[in-house]
Amino acid sequence: MKYVNHQPSTINHQPSSMKNIQIAAAQFENKSGDKNYNLSVIDRISLQAASAGAQAIAFHECSVTGYTFAIQLSKEQMLDLAEYIPGGESISNLREIAEKNNIALLAGLFEKDKQGNLYKAYVCVDKTGLLAKYRKLHPFVNPHILPGDRYCIFDLYGWKCGILICYDNNIIENVRATKLLGADILFMPHVTMCTPSTRPGAGFVDPALWLNREKDPTSLRLEFDGMKGREWLMKWLPARAYDNALYVVFSNPIGMDHDQLKNGCSMILDPFGDILAECRKLGDDFCVATLTPEKLRDAGGYRYMKARRPELYKDIIGQTHVSEQKVIWLNMKKN
């Protein structure tokens, strides 16, 4: 397992030394707090993906534990739910699933340490054990969860990979930093879309549409694919891949996550920002794409990275954000 420190690896490694890799992105309806059930679905879908040729499969944020229900949990309840990594039972179960199905797994869960601190974690596991662990930098779902303090770069079948969880990807510096540290594949596990926001068109999707999806799939698809869901995703997700010459593996749950309905649309994008594969079922699903190293150099983002002039903006980028309200307060204090 390799955790990134302050020394970035090169972004100029030779694609010629890398072989094509087949990656899967999954979506499923998890059950809140039911690790056994969620792991059984991870087992089933990963076996199907392996049979389709996938060498690794990525599941959504907190796919082992469930996500939204944790809003209401006390710290004691969170500590009961969370696990030590790598010593916890779920990591052992994931390793067994990976070995049995001959596939690397990426999945999320709540983590605790010996000091009683809580984190939102995402791991990569294969038959040998834990390959990587990442802690979410911008956690929100429960006030007792602490933010991570580092990026994560790890090797997977000769490819350099990184992880950013959900909101971490909305801070564009995180994506660029992960690329600069050497990542060519960025795993983006989410629990997102179909929630209220100041963004025009955002909002919840009525759970009744999910219950009625077999009789009326059209009404549900219109909500899932519109501005509450996929149309919003398409405003920014392809840009993260294109600007940074990255393969992006986006994973998101579908169905009810506690009291919120999520729309899935897990997908894999190439460094041109084009969608290579996407889940389109109104239910548990996975998609598989072949990632080829040549695109890492051919895409425009590779040239943009080479053309950077960090001497112009390194000090600006590193500044602490000052809110408009604080600026007004500071000006009043000066006067």
The pLDDT value recorded for residue 17 is 80
Q: pLDDT for 29-49, tens place per residue?
A: 999 999 999 999 999 999 999
Q: Looking at residues 315-327, what average pLDDT do you find?
A: 70
In this structure, what DSSP letter does residue 10 have?
A: P
Q: Is the pLDDT of residue 4 over 50?
A: no
Helices (H), 113-229: 172-180, 207-211, 217-225
Burial 183-213 (b: 16+ CB within 10 A, else e): bbbbbbbbbbbbeeeeeeeeeebeeebbeeb
Q: Is the pLDDT of residue 1 over 50?
A: no
Q: Is the pLDDT of residue 102 over 80?
A: yes
Measured CA to CA, the distance from residue 211 to residue 110 in angstroms comes to 29
The pLDDT value recorded for residue 320 is 85
Average pLDDT, the chain: 93
Q: Is the pLDDT of residue 28 over 70?
A: yes
Ranges 174-178, 232-236, 257-261, 312-316: which has the least confidence: 312-316
Domains in the chain: boundaries: 15-334
Measured CA to CA, the distance from residue 267 to residue 103 in angstroms comes to 18
Measured CA to CA, the distance from residue 160 to residue 174 in angstroms comes to 16
Q: At what angle do helices 230-244 and 172-180 cross, to 10 degrees?
A: 30
Q: Is the pLDDT of residue 122 over 70?
A: yes
Q: Looking at residues 211-227, what average pLDDT do you find?
A: 98
Q: pLDDT for 180-211, tens place per residue?
A: 999 999 999 999 999 999 999 999 999 999 99
Measured CA to CA, the distance from residue 13 to residue 28 in angstroms comes to 35
pTM of the predicted model, to two decimals?
0.92
The pLDDT value recorded for residue 264 is 98
**CATH class belonging to 15-334:** alpha beta
* Per-residue confidence band for 323, with pLDDT thresholds at 50, 70 and 90: low
Measured CA to CA, the distance from residue 331 to residue 83 in angstroms comes to 47
